[in-house]
């Protein structure tokens, strides 16, 4: 049997998104980078009950020339130094690239499954966008939607809906 894991989206789940006109965007600088409330305590609790913690994130602004690869690396190093995360998987492609790693496709989840021997049926995907929920559903994970009221609709139904990250501890135990 494989490991139980929680796979988190990054922006809006681990760190706060920058919301403009109802749409979430990633931070551009460390000055804009802010943790989601209770993220450290939440991830430390999950780690203490033997969940492998992984982040999987679309970062198309790199491919679009709107964000540097170096800046994304700075964010990821900061996350890995602060939180008990095993690995961060990143897709830098845009929709037009038709890659298998860009959410809503589950490629990054399957890559994590292969790297860490994850049992997807015993695992959870936590996201704040429809792409996260679609990827988790397609991979066969249980899905938890962090509903911030963005101006976009879900395309598939999550197993659970929460308003604050730390509420996942009421679901995962």
For the domain bounded by 5-170, which CATH number is listed? 3.40.50.1000
- What value does the mean pLDDT take over residues 147-166? 96
Residues 85-113 have pLDDT tens digits of: 999 999 999 888 889 999 999 999 999 99
Composition of the chain by helix, strand, coil, percent to 5: 35, 25, 45
* Its pTM surpasses 0.75: yes
Residues 124-154 have pLDDT tens digits of: 999 999 999 999 999 999 999 999 999 999 9
CB 26: neighbour CB atoms within 10 A? 23
Catalytic positions are 9, 11
Q: Do the beta carbons of residue 52 and residue 7 sit within 8 Å?
A: no
Q: Residue 13: pLDDT above 80?
A: yes
CB 143: neighbour CB atoms within 10 A? 24
CB 86: neighbour CB atoms within 10 A? 16
- What value does the mean pLDDT take over residues 162-166? 98
Which two three-digit tokens encode residue 51? Answer: 């969940």
CB 155: neighbour CB atoms within 10 A? 11
Q: What is the pLDDT of residue 123?
A: 98
Residues 52-81 have pLDDT tens digits of: 999 999 999 998 989 999 999 999 999 999
């Amino acid at each position: 049997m494989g490991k139980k894991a929680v796979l988190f989206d990054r922006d809006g789940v681990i760190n706060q998104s920058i919301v403009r006109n109802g749409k979430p965007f990633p931070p551009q600088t460390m000055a804009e980078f802010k943790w989601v409330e209770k993220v450290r305590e939440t991830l430390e609790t999950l780690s203490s009950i033997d969940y492998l913690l992984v982040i999987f994130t679309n970062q198309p602004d790199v491919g679009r020339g709107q964000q540097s690869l170096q800046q994304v690396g700075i964010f990821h190093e900061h996350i890995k130094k602060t939180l008990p995360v095993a690995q961060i998987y990143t897709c830098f492609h845009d929709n037009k690239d038709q890659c298998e790693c860009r959410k809503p496709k589950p490629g990054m989840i399957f890559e994590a499954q292969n790297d860490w021997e994850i049992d997807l049926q015993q695992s959870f995907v936590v996201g704040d966008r429809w792409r996260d929920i679609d990827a988790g559903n397609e991979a066969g994970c249980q899905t938890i939607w962090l509903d911030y009221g963005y101006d976009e609709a879900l395309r598939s139904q999550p197993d659970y809906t929460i308003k604050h990250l730390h509420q996942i501890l009421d679901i995962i135990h």
